[in-house]
Amino acid sequence: MTEPISAAQARAIVYDAYTTGLPQAAAAQLLAGRATPAWVAHEYAVLRKRGISSMAGQQSLFDTAETES
């Protein structure tokens, strides 16, 4: 049986998946049945509308400007 998670926790998982470039199906799998694929698609659309880059997480991982100082 899966543990229940809050909406904020589910949104955090979706945000991390989105900003690292994972497809919606992968984000839905990460939630392991705790959210529907339609809900994940809606959250991805919200993030796109907010102008958040789907690669923001990857860009920050490889940003050398912060590590050079």
Provide the residue-wise pLDDT of the chain in tens; the chain has 69 residues.
467 889 999 999 999 999 988 999 999 999 988 899 999 999 999 999 998 877 766 555 555 555 554
Number of domains in the chain: 1
Backbone φ, ψ for residue 30 (5° rounding)? -60, -30
- pTM, entire model: 0.75
Return the pLDDT at 45: 95
Q: Is residue 37 situated within a structural domain?
A: yes
Among residues 25, 17, 18, the alpha carbon closest in space to that of 50 is found at 18
Domain membership flag for residue 31: yes
pLDDT for the residue numbered 55: 75
Residue 17 domain flag: yes
Residue 2 lies in a domain: no
- With respect to residue 15, please indicate whether it lies within any of the assigned structural domains: yes
Q: At what angle do helices 7-19 and 37-49 cross, to 10 degrees?
A: 60
Residue numbers of the domain that contains 60: 7-68
